[in-house]
Amino acid sequence: MNDKIVIETEPPSRKIKQIQENDQRSYCSKFRQKFFKDITEVQWNNWQWQFRNCIRSHQQLDEIFELSQDEKTIFDSNQVLPVSITPYYASVISTNQNLRKTMIPVIQETVFSIGEEVDPLHEENQSPVQGLIHRYPDRVLFLTTNRCSCYCRYCTRSRVVGRGAFCSKQDWKKCIDYIWSNDQIRDVILSGGDPLTLSNEEIKWLLSEIRAIPHVQVIRIGTKVPFVLPQRITRDLLAVLKKYQPLYMSIHATHPVEVTKEAKIACESLANIGIPLGSQTVLLKGVNDDVETMKELMHRLLMVRVRPYYLYQCDPIMGSSHFRTPVEKGIEIIQGLRGFTSGYAVPQYVIDAPGGGGKIPLLKNYVKAKQGQDYILENYEGKIFTYKDN
């Protein structure tokens, strides 16, 4: 009787998303057929193959992405931050034109604006030993390598990544000695560059050395690997990571199209061995600076068990003004999420203070007034409520 009515099982909005994801998958495979047709499945799924075959040269980029005049000009001007895109990530970018801005330089990179600095967060001043940034009392940022899984054009550390000597064990030892001798350090963040571009042996060495320090409670890894080189999350790597818990991971996520089937497998296998996953996203003009894109990204992250952590205002590195939105935009995006979707899907919007002040949270003011004992509060819909304080 009722059976016939209940055919429509999925709400239409979910159906639309499903179609988009399928479309994306077919774009990716078309891309592979077009540019990497002789590459076997085994090669494609091998991270070392991906890493060795990163797209770097002007000619390769032009062939694959059909560079615009703006993109061609900057290449002639010899920009300093290298370009390097894994074939896998190139296939992801090919499905969304906005994402290419994050990887392919444009002429605006050579335009310097007021407030921009080579090292806006003054990391060099807060570095007691080379490779370590000690800004907050109880935690340090450990720059383990200059090499990255990709070179985001807006990178905070574009002054150092992608060139010069990669860090050596000798450098690492000095950093580890510093952590040993400072017993207020209870949280060590492995960053870079991307620590997951190191070999399993190197990662194991670093983790075991840091784990041996009694006052270090947690270790974190900051990486973009699950979204640009998901093939790197191998069984062998997981076996290494598993041994050094509590280990947290902050994954750099930019756009919903990054959350592919491959990325899902990578994130899920990390979550399955007990690594809590968080995300970090940089707010980028024309890439992810609207509520819908951001919401979709946060939802897709939660679906692959990544809890949104930070949304950053883009740091004022030299030649980055084309990426920066007004701060108002970031506040508006968070306002568009809070209350309208799961609290778990709402990251903290922060500005990493120029000059080295650390991350400062920004939020619309939900406290409208305090009248005597009364807090006058505004909810997500703009309705006013009163809370009587003690």
The single residue of 32, 101, 119, 148 carrying the catalytic annotation is 148
Rounded to the nearest angstrom, the gap between the alpha carbon of residue 154 and the centroid of all alpha carbons in its chain is 11
Catalytic residue among 28, 150, 152, 175: 152
Measured CA to CA, the distance from residue 279 to residue 309 in angstroms comes to 5
Minimum Å gap between C-beta 275 and ligand PLP is 16
Residue that has been written with the tokens 């939020």 in this structure: 363
* Interface residue with ligand PLP, options 285, 299, 307, 359 (CB under 6 A): 359
- Minimum distance of ligand PLP from residue 134's CB (angstroms): 8
- How many other C-beta atoms can be found within 10 angstroms of the C-beta atom of residue 306? 26
Cα 46 from Cα 54, distance rounded (Å): 13
Candidates 100, 139, 147, 300; catalytic one:
139
How far apart CA 389 and CA 377 sit, in angstroms, is: 12
Q: Specify the residue, 100 or 224, whose C-beta has the smaller distance to ligand PLP.
A: 224
Residue 136 interacts with ligand PLP (CB under 6 A): yes or no: yes
Specify whether 157 is catalytic. yes
Compute how many residues bind ligand PLP; rule: CB under 6 A.
Answer: 7
Question: Binding to ligand PLP by residue 189, rule CB under 6 A?
Answer: yes
Is there binding between residue 141 and ligand PLP (CB under 6 A)?
Answer: yes
Q: Is residue 135 near ligand PLP by the rule CB under 6 A?
A: yes
Amino acid symbol at 239: A
Output the six-digit token pair for 234: 């191998």
Active-site residue (options: 100, 147, 153, 157): 157
Residue type at position 379: N
In angstroms, give the least distance from the CB of 10 to ligand PLP. Answer: 37
* Backbone phi, psi, residue 260, to 5°: -90, 180
Taking the least distance from each CB to ligand PLP, the nearer of 135 and 153 is 135
285 touches ligand PLP (CB under 6 A): no
Q: Counting contacts by CB under 6 A, is residue 351 touching ligand PLP? A: no
Residues with Cβ within 8 Å of residue 31, at least 6 apart in sequence: 90, 91, 94, 95
d(CA 194, CA 221) in angstroms, rounded, equals 9
Output 35 or 136, the one with its CB closest to ligand PLP: 136
The whole-angstrom separation of Cα 108 and Cα 104 is: 11
- When the beta carbons of 254 and 260 are compared against ligand PLP, the nearer one is 254
DSSP 55: B
- Mark whether 150 is an active-site residue: no
3-state secondary structure of 168: coil
Active site residue 54: no
Q: Is 317 in the site for ligand PLP (CB under 6 A)?
A: no
Note whether 133 binds ligand PLP by CB under 6 A.
Answer: yes
Asked about 169 being catalytic, the answer comes back as no
DSSP β-ladder status, 187-191 and 218-223: parallel
Q: Which is nearer to ligand PLP, 139 or 255 (CB)?
A: 139
Residue 322 within binding range of ligand PLP, rule CB under 6 A: no
**DSSP assignment of 121-136, as one string?**
T-TGGG-SSTTEEEEE
**Per-residue binder mask for ligand PLP (CB under 6 A), 208-247, x = binder:** ----------------------------------------
Active site residue 38: no
Q: Does 277 bind ligand PLP (CB under 6 A)?
A: no
In this complex, which beta carbon is closest to ligand PLP, that of residue 32 or of residue 252? Answer: 252
Scored b (16 or more CB within 10 A) or e, 246-262 reads: ebbbbbbbbbbbbbbeb
Contact 330, 362 (CB under 8 A): yes
First to last CA, the chain: 58
Q: Is 252 an interacting residue with respect to ligand PLP (CB under 6 A)?
A: no
Pair of tokens at residue 184:
């207020």
**Does residue 139 contact residue 183 with C-beta atoms inside 8 Å?**
no
Query: Which chain residues interact with ligand PLP by CB under 6 A?
Result: 133, 135-136, 139, 141, 189, 359
Could you give the residue numbers annotated as active site?
Answer: 135-136, 139, 148, 152, 155, 157, 315, 352, 359
